[in-house]
Amino acid sequence: MNISTLMEKIGLDRVTLLRIKKFLETETSILMQREGKFMFNSFLSDRDAVLKKYFGE
């Protein structure tokens, strides 16, 4: 699924989707700094899978 299809399905524009992506990346960084990387390996894996699926990164 590409970003255009995602925008159509959930009714958000590209700018909003990119803001969500940036938020997820920022929150992940904050959590890793606060709690340590070990606890978030599963979360990171899930997040990366979502980013790759929807943003191709």
Domain carrying residue 51: 3-55
What pLDDT is attached to residue 55? 78
Over range 30-38, report the average pLDDT.
68
**Total of domains in the chain:** 1
Residue 17: pLDDT band by 50, 70, 90 thresholds?
confident
Of residues 35 and 51, more confidence is placed in 51
The CA-based angle 39-54-43, given to 5 degrees, is: 5
Query: What is the pLDDT at residue 10?
Result: 81
Cβ count within 10 A of residue 38: 7
Percentage of residues in the chain with pLDDT exceeding 70? 79
Q: Does the pLDDT of residue 7 top 60, yes or no?
A: yes
